Structure 1
Amino acid sequence: MSTKDWISEPADGVGIFQECVYDSVINDVNPNPAVIQVDHTAETTITQKVINDELGSRFTMEASIPAKTFDKIAAHWCKKRSLNTNKYSLEELLSKCNFLQAYHADKSIEVLEDDLDDFALTQTINKRIEQPEVDADLDMDNIFNILASDPLEAKYMNECSNELIQLREAGRNLTQTFPILTKIGSEDEHAKALMMMETLLEDYDNNLLLVDALSCSIARYEADDDVLK
């Protein structure tokens, strides 16, 4: 009866085994030497050499094994002996991180990445909470004090801004009351616009902005009318 405990069967001419006779009560794993069995094939060679150097004369034996075959038997050996070739196992990696909740090996990568993002966000929030509070006076009478170095210049900029805002609001209200200032949609509105223009021109200096707006609206309508014709 064979006492060989095959780790990797010699399917490609190379196999590895251990003698399975040992005291299993004392030893958790088989302590016997690993034996590599190399059969004579076209891909495997065994060479005997005698080396003479300053260390003296010694006998060596070299076995040439295909790299892929050696990969296979190495993988079988690590699996049989429950050896982990990675620096850390998945459980060890997870235990080294202070995650917000427990993880399992079968959790998807997407869920794990989401949890890592949450962890990073929590760390950032905690750092900001630990930072000391800084008193700041954010009340400001005139925002243009930031832009101008001279208080008088900032005051002038603020007054101009207020006037422009009032002018903009007045323009919006006026265009809502008289839509023909921005768009003329019919021949009747065109006639009304011409009549309004005559009235505005009587006091041109005070109605300059309205004259400009109405003249542009009339010009757009007449240009579109010429194209249609």
Structure 2
Amino acid sequence: MSTKEWFFCPPESSVGGYQDMTFDHENQNPVLIQIDNPEEYQVLKDEQFHQVKIAIDAKEFDRLAIAWCKKRQLHEALGGPVGKEFGSPDSE
């Protein structure tokens, strides 16, 4: 049994994101996105090809993406200033 390390799990949302826990400095396990009652979904499967399409609200996806970027400290890759959440002394 593994422990989930949630990076996005607001109580009012049907969308969540997590990784299985690791004791390494940087968790490289796959990211899992859990969506309860998606607006739309489609599963295509044949012998050599599998595809899953899931639709969620765009604003909810924004929140999930921002939480992921904060967890992974990707602020430099996004070209923005470093904020308080990353310990910047320049941030108010």
Provide TM-score, normalisation by structure 2: 0.71
Counterpart pick for 1:49 among 35, 40, 44:
44
| Percentage of pairs with the same residue | 33
1:37 corresponds to which of 15, 34, 38: 34
Distance, in Å, in 2 between the alignment partners of 1:37 and 1:31 is 18
- Contact kept? 2:17, 2:33, Cα under 8 Å: yes
Q: Partners of 2:18 and 2:5 in 1: how far apart?
A: 5
TM-score, normalising length: structure 1 = 0.31
The aligned length equals 83
The AA in structure 1 aligned to 2:17 is: I
Closer/same/farther in 2, CA of residues 106 and 89 from structure 1, 3 Å limit: closer
Post-superposition offset of 1:66? 0.8
Residue 59 of structure 1, CA deviation: 2.8
- How many Å separate the matches in 2 of 1:67 and 1:29? 28
Q: Tell me, yes or no, if structure 1 residue 7 matches structure 2 residue 2.
A: no
Separation in 2, partners of 1:64, 1:2: 28
Question: Does the CA contact (< 8 Å) of 2:19 and 2:29 recur in 1?
Answer: yes
Residue pair 2:2, 2:20 contacting (<8 A) in 1 also: no
CA distance in 2, matches of 1:59, 1:33: 17
Distance 1:106 1:14 in 2: 30
The residue aligned with 1:105 is 90
- Residue 31 and residue 59 in structure 1: after superposition, are their counterparts in 2 closer, same or farther (change >3 A)? closer
Structure 1 residue 50, shift from structure 2 partner: 4.8
How far has the Cα of 1:105 moved from its partner? 2.2
Question: 1:49-198 maps to which residues of 2 (within 5 A)?
Answer: 49-50=44-45, 58-84=49-75, 85-86=78-79, 89=81, 105=90
Q: CA deviation at 1:74?
A: 0.3
**RMSD after superposition:** 2.9
Equivalents in 1 of 2:57, 2:91: separation in Å? Answer: 36
Q: Give secondary structure in 2 for the equivalent of 1:31.
A: coil
1:79 positional shift? 0.8
AA of the residue aligned to 1:4: K
Task: Quote how far apart the aligned CAs of 1:58 are.
Answer: 2.5
- Which structure 1 residue ranges, 4+ long, deviate > 4 Å from structure 2? none
Structure (1/2) with the larger helix percentage? 1
Unaligned regions of 5+ residues in structure 1, if any? 91-103, 108-229
Alignment partners' CA distance in 1, 2:74 and 2:17? 16
Distance 1:71 1:2 in 2: 27
Q: Where does the alignment leave 5 or more consecutive residues of structure 2 unmatched?
A: 83-88
1:49 is displaced (CA, Å) by 2.5
Post-superposition Cα deviations, 1:116-141, rounded to whole Å, max 9, x if no partner, equal xxxxxxxxxxxxxxxxxxxxxxxxxx
